[in-house]
Structure 1
Amino acid sequence: MSDPDSVAVVGGGIVGSAAAYHLAREGVGTTLFDRRDEGRATDAGAGIVAPATSSRTGSDPWFSFAVEAADHYPDLVAALEADGVADHGYASADLLSVAVDPDEVGAFETAKRRTERRAEEYGTPAPGTFEEIPIDRARELFPPLSGAERAMVYRDQARVDGRAFAAALREAGEEHGLAVERADVTGIETERVDADGATVSGVVVDGNDREFEAVVVAGGAWSGAFADALGVEIPVEPQRGQIVHLAVEADTEDWPIVSPFRHKYLVSWPNGRVAVGATREDDVGFAPRATLAGLHDVYGEALRVAEGLRDAEPVETRVGLRPVSRDGLPVLGRAPDVDGAYLATGHGPTGLTLGPYSGKVVADLVRGIEPETDRSAFDPTRFR
């Protein structure tokens, strides 16, 4: 398919908003259907954009794609600002990796060696942008830090407010003709073209048939609802993440992201706000609610890592349902047997890192442009 006249994008999170923005920017008639589900992962995530520090070592394709995704952000931000959208929620930030307790030192040393290997093999993080530092220096960068064993600082990383960034993409897209509707897409209409395949003819929106030449399914954890219509397995399940936001009486704008070694993080934002998260809860279904156990886990880790936050005021709890695929990798590409159907989901806990770039990749595919990036590990056909 080459530059279809009409495209429906299902899902207004960061992936769907990015796909819709890029399509509209290229002059493609695009409608974004945003049901605004409670618990959408984009709205809850803390937004660490730092693939070079990720512990995900089992997938070189994921890491390569994540590096490209992080590099895509500055260009996309520049484009948004050129479109007149300045409130996008993206900013550069340093990242502080800390081994707080002695039992984390082994993981710290493994991460340090991994960083050095990645710098040598991939050129990221760039030489000179990371180093081990004394704990006293780490506390100067992040004053609430507890006593700790080891610390590394990674410069030139980034943080993004997913809710703000997705809104910025939609706002800029509307400047290019994007139509945004708050509506529920309940089905995808197809027409059989031969014994082996079909083509998209439209979508069902709030019970009404709407004609479209192509559809992008970017429904996050809810994407599996379209598996039968497309004749393809979409093994994506919700993983619940609970995040708390704290108010502190300090100038937090330049505080670094803090990443310890027990699957939690602290992300500081301007105006005295620190986000702490997140739980990773599987087999919870579509239940975007906070729990006593989850909050206990998050608050306990906040005090373990940053005892200086003990007087912080809890001001908000966010709960997101991350779309986690069966193999932990994104589901990104053409539906195998339906011409004009595309999938962009399954990003799990790294949706805010990968999402905008994934949206661009799938927008290119819709327009008949084969992206230069290697996405073979993410192809939906791997589940056949």
Structure 2
Amino acid sequence: MSSTENFVVIGGGIVGAAAAYRLAVKGLGVTLISNNREGEATMAGAGGVDPGVAHTPPTAWYPMAFASARFYKELTAQLEADGETDTGYEVCGSLVIAMDDTEAERLKDLLLLFNERTRSGAIDNGDLSIVDARGAQELFPPLQPGTVGIHSPTGARVDGRRLRDSLLRAFLKRGGNLVRGEAELSVDGDDVRVTVDGTAHPADRIVLAPGAWTSDLLRPLGHELPVFPQRGQLMHMGLRDTDTSKYPIITGFHHSYIIPFGGGRIVAGATREDDAAFDYRETVGGTLEVVADALRVAPGLAEASVLETRVGFRPFSPDRLPIVGALEGWPSVVIATGLGSSGLTMGPFVGSTAADLAVGEQVALDLAPYSPARFK
């Protein structure tokens, strides 16, 4: 690889911004192309980074998720060195709750599993403990009375917009070139050409992070990766005169979640709508689902104000695993997509990993389970 090569990253979400920033930190010439599509998952997202207490994803999901969670320490330190402290990432702890006796009984086995992950060195879950109903409500006062759970002090929350914006600012400080517009790929002999609104951009090596719009972008290269959009609707609520900054993330034996931020802001979500395609709108049914799930877990939120609702399209693969690696037949093109509902957990690490692959570096994590070649 020559330091004079031109790198192009397509996709201005968390993954693309992280890839572009990583390349800029290496001192390379990078152009990041972003079109700010409606429904971009990063712009809607607010998530928890606590894979150490996850218990429902497929087995191959965990190595990537654990590596991604560990990477946040490195990333935030690098951003801070570049003058970016408003990253939207904060450690707040997490609480895996049980809503009935059957779920409460399962907490014992989960505690053993979570502690084993710490003992094995897979991930540091800190000093885990089962908390009774009183302890759970002290941690998160709006909770349903009688709720118990497992508390982890290491869970973190992420505001997707703030993190993406901090990455972009740091990228520009490092001399990166940001282009707004719709990127298109075309084939010119053995090369891939990149144009934006009719203007060509030199591209010796390309990182593609197009999220839910992967299929359309790849079609000119003869690839049809099976990435589909899953619509997610979520709601931001406000608790007046309440310090929510130390509230933990709430998860459990259900797909919904509650993410607290400072200033009384609580995020509840999210729907998982596989058949909505790119229908960018909030629906009555989606709003009802989000509110009902939130109030079932935390009825104390009933008097909260509705601050805003958001809609985003998660890029899902058929096996619910990310897609990371060089495109077959196009060694100069690296794809990073398919993160699904793990975009804010994995996005920075996946983007940075794609950047490393683009410059020909070896990565420590076995990427075979995430290779795009698995969809031949």
TM over 0.5: yes
Q: What is the match of residue 233 of structure 2?
A: 242
Deviation of 1:123 (Å):
4.3
In the alignment, is the contact (CA less than 8 A) between 1:238 and 1:286 conserved in 2?
Answer: yes
Q: Which amino acid aligns with 2:85?
A: A
Q: What is the match of residue 219 of structure 1?
A: 210
Q: Which amino acid aligns with 2:366?
A: D
Q: Which amino acid aligns with 1:164?
A: R
Deviation of 1:229 (Å):
2.1
1:154 to 143, 152, 155: 152
Deviation of 1:247 (Å):
0.5
- The one-character-per-residue Cα deviations of 1:102-143 (angstroms, maximum 9, x if unpaired) are 4533554453343244334444344x5211011101111111
Secondary structure of the residue that 1:160 maps to in structure 2?
Answer: strand
Q: What is the match of residue 187 of structure 2?
A: 190
Deviation of 1:45 (Å):
1.7
Deviation of 1:341 (Å):
0.8
Q: What is the match of residue 320 of structure 1?
A: 312
CA gap of 1:111–1:289, structure 2 versus 1, over 3 A, is: farther
Deviation of 1:86 (Å):
1.4
Q: Which amino acid aligns with 1:74?
A: K
Q: Does 1:17 align with 2:17?
A: yes
Q: What is the match of residue 124 of structure 1?
A: 123
1:281 to 262, 273, 285: 273
Q: Does 1:204 align with 2:195?
A: yes
Higher mean C-alpha deviation, range 134-143 or range 207-216: 207-216
Secondary structure of the residue that 2:289 maps to in structure 1?
Answer: helix
Q: Which amino acid aligns with 2:188?
A: E
Separation in 1, partners of 2:90, 2:236: 18
The alignment's TM-score, normalised by the length of structure 2, stands at 0.95
Q: What is the match of residue 69 of structure 1?
A: 68
In the alignment, is the contact (CA less than 8 A) between 2:136 and 2:148 conserved in 1?
Answer: no
Q: Which amino acid aligns with 2:77?
A: A
Separation in 1, partners of 2:154, 2:2: 38
Secondary structure of the residue that 1:311 maps to in structure 2?
Answer: coil
Q: Which amino acid aligns with 2:185?
A: I
Q: Does 1:334 align with 2:326?
A: yes
Secondary structure of the residue that 2:153 maps to in structure 1?
Answer: strand
Q: Which amino acid aligns with 2:151?
A: V
Q: What is the match of residue 32 of structure 1?
A: 32
In the alignment, is the contact (CA less than 8 A) between 1:56 and 1:63 conserved in 2?
Answer: no
In the alignment, is the contact (CA less than 8 A) between 2:115 and 2:128 conserved in 1?
Answer: no
Q: What is the match of residue 5 of structure 2?
A: 5
In the alignment, is the contact (CA less than 8 A) between 1:190 and 1:199 conserved in 2?
Answer: yes
- The one-character-per-residue Cα deviations of 1:331-375 (angstroms, maximum 9, x if unpaired) are 101011013111000000001000000111111111111211111
Q: What is the RMSD computed on CA atoms of the aligned residues? A: 1.6
Separation in 1, partners of 2:57, 2:170: 35
Q: Does 1:233 align with 2:224?
A: yes
Separation in 2, partners of 1:84, 1:208: 33
Deviation of 1:216 (Å):
1.2
Deviation of 1:57 (Å):
4.5
In the alignment, is the contact (CA less than 8 A) between 1:107 and 1:261 conserved in 2?
Answer: no
Q: What is the match of residue 58 of structure 1?
A: 58
In the alignment, is the contact (CA less than 8 A) between 2:210 and 2:217 conserved in 1?
Answer: no
Q: What is the match of residue 270 of structure 1?
A: 262
Q: Which amino acid aligns with 1:189?
A: S
- The one-character-per-residue Cα deviations of 1:37-96 (angstroms, maximum 9, x if unpaired) are 11111111222001111123522x321111111111011101101101111111111101
In the alignment, is the contact (CA less than 8 A) between 1:99 and 1:148 conserved in 2?
Answer: no
Deviation of 1:228 (Å):
2.2
Q: Which amino acid aligns with 2:191?
A: T
Separation in 2, partners of 1:367, 1:4: 12
Separation in 1, partners of 2:90, 2:48: 10
Q: Which amino acid aligns with 2:205?
A: A
